[in-house]
Amino acid sequence: MTYALRRRLWAAALILAFFVTWEVLCLALDVSDLIVPRPSQVIATLWVRMPVLWPHILQTLWTTMIGFALGVIVGVVIGALIGTSRVAYDTAYPLLIGFSSIPKVAVVPIFVLWFGAGPVPAVLTALAMCFFPIVVNIATGLATTEPEMEDVLKSLGASKMDLLLNVGLPRTMPFFFASLKIAATFAFVGTVLAETVASNKGIGNVMMSASSNFDVPLVFAGLFILAFLGVALYVVFSVIEGRVVGWANRRTDLSPS
C-alpha cells in the first residue's frame, strides 16, 4: 500500500469516525433533534428535500464564484501594485489592514442599502471577504523575490513588466495558490453571511428560515452542503496548484525519466 493511499484512508476513517461518534452520542444521550439532529437524520433530510434545496445550492454557488473571481482579480491587481513598489506598500497597507479588520457582517446592511436585497450584496460580501488574503500573499511573494534573480534580467535590460511576468509572478504562484484555498472558503462565508441577513434565496436564506421554523435537521443539512462545497472548491484548487506550481514541491513525476 502506498503512503498516499494510506494517508487518504486515514483521512476517510477520521471523517467516518467523527460521524459515527456523533450518531452514537446522540442516541446514547437521547438528544432531541431540535437541539442536535443525528447525521443519519440530516442525510435523510438532504435526500428528501434535495429538489427544493437544489436551486438554493446553485444560487449560493454562482454568487460565491462571481464574488470569488472578482476578489481574485482585485486581490492580484492590488497585491501586484503594492508588492512591486515599496512606497505603495507602505502607503496602502494601513488602509488595507483597517478595511480587512472591519467585521463583514457590519457591511452587509450597507450593501443592502445600496443595492437592495438579493445576489448583489452576496457577491460583494464574498469579494470583500476573500480579496485580502490574496493581496497579502501576492504582495509578500513579490516583495521577497531574491534581488539576484532580478539582477540577472535587469542587466539584460528587462523592463519592470518583464521582471513581473518572468520572475515576480511565477515565483509568487505558490503563495497565490495557498491564498486561493483560503480565499475560496472565505468567499463561501461571505455569501452565506449576506444571504442570512438579506436575501430570499441561497443556502444562507434556507438555514435562516429553517431555524426560525425549528426545522433543525434542515439547518444542519445547509451546514453539510456548505462544508461539501467548500471542500470541493478546495480540491479543485489543489489539483490546479499541483499542475502549475509542482516545481515548488519538487514533485518527482515532473522529472524526465
Partner 1 sequence: MTPDLAQIQPERKRAAVELSRAGVTFGQAGARVQALQPTDLRIDEGEFLALVGPSGCGKSTILKLVSGLTRPSEGAVIVGGREVAAKALRIGMAFQNPTLLPWLTIEKNVMLPLKIVRPFRHDFARKKRGEYRDRVHAALADVGLQGFANHYPWQLSGGMLQRANLCRALIHDPSLLLLDEPFGALDQFTREELWGTMQDLWIKRRPTVILVTHDLKEAGFLGTRICVMSARPGRIIDDSPVTFPRPRSIEMTFQPEFTALNQRLRERIISARQEVTA
Using CB under 8 A as the criterion, which residues of the chain lie in contact with partner 1 when the complex forms? 146, 148-149, 151-158, 162, 166-167, 170-171, 173, 245, 247-248, 250, 254-256
Q: How far is the CB of 135 from partner 1 (least distance, A)?
A: 22
Q: How far is the CB of 136 from partner 1 (least distance, A)?
A: 21
Q: Which is nearer to partner 1, 32 or 252 (CB)?
A: 252
Q: How far is the CB of 156 from partner 1 (least distance, A)?
A: 5
Whole-angstrom distance, CA of residue 210 vs CA of residue 206: 6
Whole-angstrom distance, CA of residue 50 vs CA of residue 60: 15
Q: Nearest 5 degrees, angle CA 166-CA 171-CA 172?
A: 115
Q: Which is nearer to partner 1, 131 or 177 (CB)?
A: 177
Q: Which is nearer to partner 1, 87 or 156 (CB)?
A: 156
Q: Which is nearer to partner 1, 103 or 256 (CB)?
A: 256
- Length of the chain in terms of residues written: 257
Beta carbons of 121 and 111 less than 8 angstroms apart: yes
Q: Which is nearer to partner 1, 90 or 151 (CB)?
A: 151
Q: How far is the CB of 37 from partner 1 (least distance, A)?
A: 49
Q: How far is the CB of 83 from partner 1 (least distance, A)?
A: 18
Q: How far is the CB of 184 from partner 1 (least distance, A)?
A: 23
Q: Which is nearer to partner 1, 117 or 153 (CB)?
A: 153
Beta carbons of 16 and 196 less than 8 angstroms apart: no
